[in-house]
Amino acid sequence: MNFFNKIIQNQLFKVTSLSSFSILVRLITGFLSSKVIAYFVGPSGMALMGNLRSFTSLLDSIGTLGVQSGVLQKVAKNQSKKEVLTSFVRNIFWILFMVSLLMSIILISGNEYFGNMIFNNNSQYYFTLYFIAFFIPFQILHLFFITVLNGFSYYKKVTQISIYGSLISLLISFILIWFHGIYGALVSMSISSFFLFLFSGYFFFKTFSFPDLFKKIRIDFSVLKGLIPFGIMSLYTAVLTPIIYIFIRNSITSEVSIEASGWFEAMQRISGFYFMFISTLVSFYFLPELIKADSESEKLNLTKKFFTQVIPIFAIVLIGIYFCKDYIIKLLLTPDFYQVRELFVWQLLGDFFKAMSLILGIRFYAIKDIKGYLITESVSFLIFFGTSLFFISFYGAIGAVLSYAVTYLLYFLVLVFYFRKVLFKS
C-alpha cells in the first residue's frame, strides 16, 4: 500500500495523469480532424496544410521573440515577489503585443511573396494569409498566457485550456471543411487561435488583473536583456525547423508529386499524435523542474528519471504503433494514403532518438549554454538539410523520413558526447 501511495503522490505521476487526459482528448480530436482532412482534401490538400502549419509555427516563434523559456524561468523563480513579477509580465505583454501587430502589417504587405513560398504559386490560396495576419496577436498573447501559467505550475488550468482548445478547433475545422473544402481547412488553422486566446486569457487574468497590465503602461525594453539567451536558442531552432520542413515538402513535390508530399505530411501528423506525450511531459514537468533545480545532482536525477521511467514506456508504444500501422492508416486516413505505411519504420526510429535527445537538449535552457546549443543544433540542421537533399532525390518521401532518423541518431550521439562529463561522472 505504501508503494502505491508513493507513486500516487509523486509529482511526475500527477503531471502525467493530468496531461494524459489532455493528450487523450487531443488524440481523439486529432484523429477525427485527420480523417476529415484526408477524406475531403486528400494528400495534395494535406501537403498545402503542412506548409501553412509550418509557416504559422514560424510566425509563433518570431512573435514570441523566443523568450517563452526565459519568461517561464522568471515567473517560476519570482512567484513570491508580486510587484517585481507584475512589472515584468506587464512589460512582456505589451512588447509582444506590439511585435505581433508589426508582424500582421508585414504579412499583409508581403502577401504575394509569402504565398509563393507556402503554396507553390497556387495564388487561389493566398487570401488565407489575411486571416492569419488578423489573428496573429491573439495567438501570440495566448502563447504568452500559457507560458506564465506554466511558470506558476498551474498544470490543471493549462490542461483545461488544452482540452477546450482541441474541442473548439475540431468543431471549427469540421464546419469550415464541410462547407468550403481545402479553403475552409486552411482558414480554420487561424480562427481557432482566437478561442485559445479567450480560454488562456480567462485563467491568466485571474492571476494578473486588468489594472496590473493596463494601469501604468510604460514599456521598459531592458526586461528583455535577461531573456536574450533563451531568445537566441529558441528562435534559432524555431525559425529554421519550419523552413526546413517547407523545403522538404517542396522538394518531395518537385522530385515526386504533391501527393507524395501529402503522404509525408500525413506521417508527421501521426507522429505528432503519439509524440504529444513526450513533448507535453517535458514542457509541463521536466523543463520547469530543471530550471528550478539548484544543483547539478538534481538536474542529473531528473534526467535519469526521464530515461528510466519515460523512455521504456515510449519505446513499447512505438513498437506497438509499428505493428498496427495498417490499422492506423485505415482508421485515420483514406486509401489514398496507403503508401504512408512505407514511412513508419524510419519515422518511429527517428522519434525514438528525438525523445532521447529532448531531455538532454533542454539542459541548454536550464544552464543557459548558448554556445553549446548553437553548435549542436547547427550540426543537426546541417545533417538534416544535407541528408534530405540526398535521400529525397533517390527515395522520395521515404528519403525524407530516412533523413529524419539519421539526423536524430547522430544528434543524440552529439549531445551525449557534449554532456559526457556530467552524464558519466561517478
**Over the stretch 284-306, which tens digit does the pLDDT of each residue have?**
777 777 777 777 777 888 888 88
pLDDT (0 to 100) of residue 15: 54
Q: Please, what is the end-to-end C-alpha distance for the chain in angstroms?
A: 34
Nearest CA among 187, 53, 47, 51 for reference residue 117: 51
Tell which residue, 244, 303, 240, 299, has the closest CA to residue 66: 240
The domain segmentation of the chain, as residue ranges, is: 2-423
Residue at grid coordinates 503508401: 339
Q: At what angle do helices 258-281 and 228-255 cross, to 10 degrees?
A: 150
Q: What is the pLDDT of residue 18?
A: 54
Ranges of the chain with pLDDT below 50:
1-10, 13, 426
Give the model's pLDDT for residue 1: 43
Q: What angle separates helix 228-255 from helix 370-395, to the nearest 10 degrees?
A: 0
How far is C-alpha 276 from the geometric centre of its chain's CA atoms? 9
Q: List, in sequence order, the alpha helices (H) in 208-295.
A: 210-214, 228-255, 258-281, 287-292
pLDDT tens track for 67-93: 877 788 788 777 777 787 888 888 889
Query: Are 160 and 102 a contacting pair, CB within 8 Å?
Result: no
What lies within 8 Å, CB to CB, of 396 at 6+ separation is: 252, 255, 256, 260
Residue 239 main-chain phi, psi, to 5 deg: -85, -45
Residue matched to cell numbers 562529463: 421
